[in-house]
């Protein structure tokens, strides 16, 4: 039976996974989020600093000094959040163009700007307003005969999908025109930077005209901006993405791939990050408005609750191995505990090994799913607060849970309990595995 399962994974699933892992579009999306992440982390922490649960006078946690601090400085320093998480899609648009153009050996910087140009065309409509109108959701204001404003409603996470689509399409147009030599070529004596700037003129023109025609058509016939239309189309998918069944499916894919030696998270990370950042932005909007947080699967939900220590929730496995009587397992376990605290588990994946180990297959798949069921349930019913801040993925699980949930102690306790539960589940399987190894005392 084990041989049949492994053969099926190797022959049917692995080739598909390898193609996905090498897909240039998914890699461009993944790269864009990696480039963007430091800005989002800083912006999220600024939001967290000014929204700690110490301002309610009816709560025992009330701190007058903090209440005064937040009221005094929020208006000035929330700008750091507004130009990071608040315009997330601008960063993503540039990052996708930069990465995708580079993968085609085109000018990465030029590709980044072209992608950003395409995104702004479809997501940031310019409107002429009278002086008396309310300038909510305004990106900039220009003085003149009219007051022109750039609609900024879709520059945050609501525009992510528009940024992805616009970025990919614009770079494909750029690549096509370059491959057909439909660009302006200057003599070799012209400095490269100037030559590159002229080379992009025709692609900019084509992208600008094409995207604006699509803009006008949709706006006149459907009375919608393109991001509105995209969000309407994808809203069922986004609703399902915050459900427990979808989490379990993702976990099965990730861990089956890991079991055969493929970095499962890398294969689907572009999809997961798009979902978790979109959901995080919705939670942050609700937090600022004083409303109930809507999304469970947000931010680093997976790293702080589901696979603490890395894929398979292997921090518990590392602890179990470090207490084993088998010398090999004990040494690998002790070497793996510290990296595991920071969600790095390659030492244990290939040192135990977990990869292609039929004895550890069941807990490796089952523990993260059990963690997901428990954590999703307690967050959904409100026993533990939902995530409102982004932390680095290398943050130890309990600390990450505490920081990302507005300093929720129950969140930290939940993460600690899940680590202990994973240790309990892995222990009998490690004991069984130890009996198959030499040097068994």
| pLDDT mean across residues, the chain | 85
Residue 72 β-bridge partners? none
The separation between the first and the last C-alpha atoms of the chain, rounded to the nearest angstrom, is 30
Confidence (pLDDT) at 130: 47
Least confident of 46-55, 385-394, 413-422: 46-55
- Cα atoms in the Cβ-side hemisphere of radius 13 Å centred on 238: 22
CA-to-CA distance for 394 and 404, rounded, in angstroms? 13
Task: Say if CB 252 and CB 17 are below 8 A apart.
Answer: no
Q: What is the CA radius of gyration of the chain?
A: 25
CA-to-CA distance for 319 and 317, rounded, in angstroms? 5
Q: Average pLDDT for residues 308-333, to the nearest whole number?
A: 91
Token look-up 């897909």 returns 23
What DSSP element (H or E) covers 117?
helix 108-123
Q: Nearest Cα to 183, choosing from 201, 207, 159?
A: 201
Least confident of 66-80, 290-304, 354-368: 66-80
Taking only the tens place, the pLDDT of each residue in 130-162 is 444 444 555 555 555 556 677 788 888 888 999
pLDDT at 105 over 90: yes
Taking only the tens place, the pLDDT of each residue in 177-210 is 999 888 888 777 777 777 777 888 999 999 999 9
């Amino acid at each position: 039976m084990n041989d049949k399962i492994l053969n099926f994974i190797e022959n049917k699933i692995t080739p598909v996974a390898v193609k996905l892992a090498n897909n240039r579009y998914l890699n461009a999306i993944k790269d864009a989020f990696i480039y963007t992440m430091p800005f989002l982390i800083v912006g999220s922490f600024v939001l967290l600093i000014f929204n700690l649960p110490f301002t309610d006078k009816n709560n025992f946690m009330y701190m007058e000094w903090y209440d005064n601090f937040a009221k005094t400085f929020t208006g000035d320093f929330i700008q750091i959040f507004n130009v990071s998480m608040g315009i997330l899609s601008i960063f993503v648009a540039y990052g996708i163009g930069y990465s995708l153009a580079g993968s085609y050996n085109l000018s990465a910087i030029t590709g980044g700007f072209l992608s950003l140009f395409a995104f702004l065309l479809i997501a940031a409509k310019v409107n002429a307003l009278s002086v008396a109108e309310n300038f909510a959701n305004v990106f900039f204001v220009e003085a003149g005969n009219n007051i022109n404003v750039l609609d900024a409603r879709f520059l945050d996470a609501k525009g992510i999908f528009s940024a992805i689509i616009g970025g990919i399409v614009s770079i494909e147009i750029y690549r096509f025109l370059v491959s057909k030599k439909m660009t302006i070529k200057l003599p070799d004596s012209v400095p490269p930077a100037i030559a590159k700037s002229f080379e992009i003129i025709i692609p900019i023109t084509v992208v600008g005209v094409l995207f604006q025609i699509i803009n006008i058509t949709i706006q006149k016939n459907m009375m919608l901006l393109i991001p509105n239309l995209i969000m309407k189309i994808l809203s069922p998918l986004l609703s399902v993405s915050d459900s427990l069944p979808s989490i379990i499916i993702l976990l099965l894919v990730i861990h089956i791939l890991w079991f055969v030696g493929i970095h499962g998270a890398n294969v689907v990370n572009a999809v997961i990050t798009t979902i978790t950042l979109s959901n995080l932005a919705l939670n942050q909007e609700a937090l600022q408005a004083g409303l109930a947080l809507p999304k469970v699967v947000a931010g680093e939900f997976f790293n702080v609750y589901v696979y603490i220590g890395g894929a398979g929730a292997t921090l518990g496995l590392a602890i179990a191995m470090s207490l084993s009587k088998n010398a090999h397992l004990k040494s690998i376990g002790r070497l793996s505990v510290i990296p595991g605290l920071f969600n790095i588990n390659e030492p244990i994946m290939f040192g135990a090994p977990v990869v292609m180990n039929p004895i550890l297959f069941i807990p490796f798949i089952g523990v993260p799913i059990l963690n997901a069921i428990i954590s999703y349930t307690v967050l959904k019913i409100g026993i533990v607060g939902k995530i409102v801040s982004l932390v680095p993925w290398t943050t130890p699980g309990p600390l990450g849970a505490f920081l990302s949930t507005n300093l929720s102690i129950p969140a930290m306790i939940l993460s600690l309990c899940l680590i202990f539960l994973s240790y309990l589940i892995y222990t009998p399987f490690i004991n069984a595995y130890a009996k198959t190894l030499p040097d068994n005392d």
